[in-house]
Amino acid sequence: MKRKRLTEKAVSVTAAIGSVLIMIMVIANTFWASKQTISSRNQAVSAVSAFYLESMADRRAKTITNLINNNFDYMEKAVSVINGEKIESQDDLRAAIGRMKTLLSLNRFALVDEDDIVYTQYTTYTGGSRHLFLAEKTLDSKMISTVFIYGSSKELCLAIPIDIKLLGKQFKACFVQIDINDIVDLLAFDDQESTHFALYSANGGNISETELGPLIGTKNIFDATKGNVSDEKWNSFRDDFANEKKGTLTFTINDDVVDTIFYQPVPDTGWELVVMIRESIIQDQIKEISNKSLAANRMQIFFLLSVATIFSAILFYMMRRVTNDKLEEEKENSKVFKSMANTDSMTGVRNKHAYMETESQLNIRIREGTIEKLALVACDINGLKYVNDTQGHAAGDQLIKDASALICDLFNHGSVYRTGGDEFVVLLLGKGYDTRGEVIEAFNKQVEENIKNNGVVVSIGYATLQPNDEQLHDLFERADHMMYDRKKQLKSMGARTREFDETN
């Protein structure tokens, strides 16, 4: 049988049909890939949001826990010190309480005797009706409670049982009260309003009075979310609060805005720490890049498949570069914000918040025995009150700056922290530890010269890590005692001290 010849028309038609079929397959595959990309993007957004929120909530809950544990430790030390002092009058007791407050940075520190009389730095009063922990006949263990004072003001009350006798009376408890606003400052975000947090009681009341996004605001979280999620999820959400469990809740506002919250219990307080991020913040950024990619791909389907493949590879590389650049930028911004939060605005050295973070990290290393060379220098400016009273606070501020410059100049291999108005702490590791003897000698020599020249005078004391030390505060106590002895020595040389200022 004679075979038919292939004509140019047949070849052209076949090529055209084949080209059309290929293009249809490419188009169909592109749209299918687009849907898969959108689905994967949404899943990634939810996963990133949940991980980000859980990480932030966990870190901030631990911050509160560390604050509480530190205050309990400091109270026990304060009671031990006061019990060892010679207390012969109420004035002696108030003075001792005041010293412990200043030394250990304890807010509203007070002792309670067997008759429920509360002794503070400035006064005494009957506390039976004012403090929840005194409602119990006996206080057998540590107690944490939230108190409401002066209308809307809220404080965290930490109480421990004690057993000491002063002024012929038995004392049964001591406590501190921490302003909720101070806790809020420790937890604050720097994120241009995209992330929010708040502290809540078990009944959903906002303790911190911080806004949790536009829907919830400062309202009761249960009232604000009711109707925006299913009854099953809402009831489970309430049960988690009541049983101090952690979890997430996602809800939609105005049919297009998705908010996700993560809640984490703060141990022993009865609080829930809630953080929220608007998924649209992440989604819009990823969607912008994704839409550009999809539009480019749709344009390329009209060209050769190889060109489309190459272009997609280039675009994918660009997307990765953009994403990496944004992540690097966010990391740099995070470093800048953290540096601002940890820097003393007057002197430029690290502040008390930075010292507390460093103290927490060093305490872990001390307990684990992974650090050997560590020294602490306690510094106190002489005559600041006198300068403030006689020359004004501007001169006092300049004295603080000059003292900071002196400390930083000589302890140039140490980490300097301003922990109070006229108090600084220097931590020495590595080279700073190895050269501490000659630096301390040079510092004291310079200070003694300054007494003669009416220059800045700073009393210092120091301590090094010993095998029986359990935490950094053990070094601080020894250094602080030495510093006060040095202050007396400098006074005998003509330097002004707080006692000198008050009597002269």
Answer left, alpha or beta for residue 429, where phi above 0 means left and psi between -120 and 50 means alpha: beta
pLDDT, position 105? 86
Beta bridge partners of 259: 251, 278
Task: Kindly tell me if the per-residue pLDDT of 298 is higher than 80.
Answer: no
Q: Quickly count: other Cβ atoms within 10 Å of residue 256's Cβ.
A: 7
pLDDT, position 106? 86
Cβ atoms of 113 and 120 closer than 8 Å: no
Half-sphere exposure of 240 (CA within 13 A, CB side): 22
Measured N-to-C along each axis, helices 472-492 and 436-452 cross at an angle, to the nearest 10 degrees, of: 30
pLDDT, position 42? 57
Give the residue ranges of DSSP H helices in 85-153: 90-104
Residue with tokens 């049909």: 17
Task: Kindly tell me if the per-residue pLDDT of 503 is higher than 50.
Answer: no
Mean pLDDT highest for which of 22-36, 214-228, 313-327, 386-400? 386-400
Q: Using CA atoms, how far apart are residues 488 and 500, in angstroms rounded to an integer? A: 10
Burial environment of residue 144 by CB neighbours within 10 A (0 to 12, 13 to 18, 19 or more): middle
Amino acid identity of residue 89, one-letter, is S
For residue 367, give both structure tokens.
């307990």
Which string of b and e fits 291-303 if b means at least 16 CB within 10 Å? Answer: eebbeebeebbee
Q: Using CA atoms, how far apart are residues 103 and 108, in angstroms rounded to an integer? A: 13
Closest CA to 421 of 465, 387, 464: 387
Q: What percent of the chain has pLDDT over 70?
A: 74
For residue 350, give both structure tokens.
């690290």
Sign of CA dihedral 57, 355, 179, 119: positive
Cβ atoms of 45 and 121 closer than 8 Å: no
Q: How many helices (H) and strands (E) does the chain have?
A: 15, 14
Q: Using CA atoms, how far apart are residues 315 and 296, in angstroms rounded to an integer? A: 9
Question: Bigger pLDDT: 214 or 271?
Answer: 271
Which string of b and e fits 57-92 if b means at least 16 CB within 10 Å? Answer: beebbebbebbbebbbebbebbbeebeeeebeeeee
Measured N-to-C along each axis, helices 352-368 and 472-492 cross at an angle, to the nearest 10 degrees, of: 120
Q: How confident is the model at residue 417 (pLDDT cuts 50, 70, 90)?
A: very high
Phi, psi of 177 (to 5 degrees): -125, 125
pLDDT, position 217? 83
pLDDT digits (tens, 9 = 90+) for 76-130: 999 999 999 999 999 999 999 999 999 988 888 999 998 889 999 998 988 766 7
pLDDT, position 295? 66
Q: Using CA atoms, how far apart are residues 249 and 251, in angstroms rounded to an integer? A: 7
- Mind giving me the DSSP string for 333-366? HHHHHHHHHTB-TTTSSB-HHHHHHHHHHHHHHH
Half-sphere exposure of 30 (CA within 13 A, CB side): 21
CB proximity list for 240: less than 8 A, separation 6 or greater: 246, 247, 263
Phi, psi of 228 (to 5 degrees): -100, -10
253: three-class secondary structure by DSSP: strand
Q: Which of 109-123, 188-202, 467-481 has the lowest mean pLDDT?
A: 188-202
Ranges of beta strands (E only) in 14-122 are 110-113, 117-119
- Mind giving me the DSSP string for 308-324? HHHHHHHHHHHHHHHHH
pLDDT, position 336? 47
Q: How confident is the model at residue 35 (pLDDT cuts 50, 70, 90)?
A: low
For residue 412, give both structure tokens.
């140039």
> Percent helix, strand and coil across the chain, each rounded to 5?
55, 20, 25
Q: How confident is the model at residue 361 (pLDDT cuts 50, 70, 90)?
A: very high
Q: Using CA atoms, how far apart are residues 427 and 375, in angstroms rounded to an integer? A: 6
Task: Kindly tell me if the per-residue pLDDT of 353 is higher than 90.
Answer: yes
pLDDT, position 206? 87
CB proximity list for 241: less than 8 A, separation 6 or greater: 200, 202, 203, 204, 222, 263, 272
pLDDT digits (tens, 9 = 90+) for 160-177: 999 999 999 999 899 998
Amino acid identity of residue 256, one-letter, is D
Task: Kindly tell me if the per-residue pLDDT of 190 is higher than 60.
Answer: no
Mean pLDDT to the nearest integer, 451-470: 94
450: three-class secondary structure by DSSP: helix
What is the reported pTM? Answer: 0.47
Closest CA to 187 of 224, 212, 205, 152: 212
Cβ atoms of 349 and 408 closer than 8 Å: yes
Closest CA to 110 of 181, 183, 173, 182: 173
Phi, psi of 250 (to 5 degrees): -115, 135
Phi, psi of 407 (to 5 degrees): -65, -45
For residue 136, give both structure tokens.
């119990």
pLDDT, position 392? 93
Residue with tokens 């309990």: 72
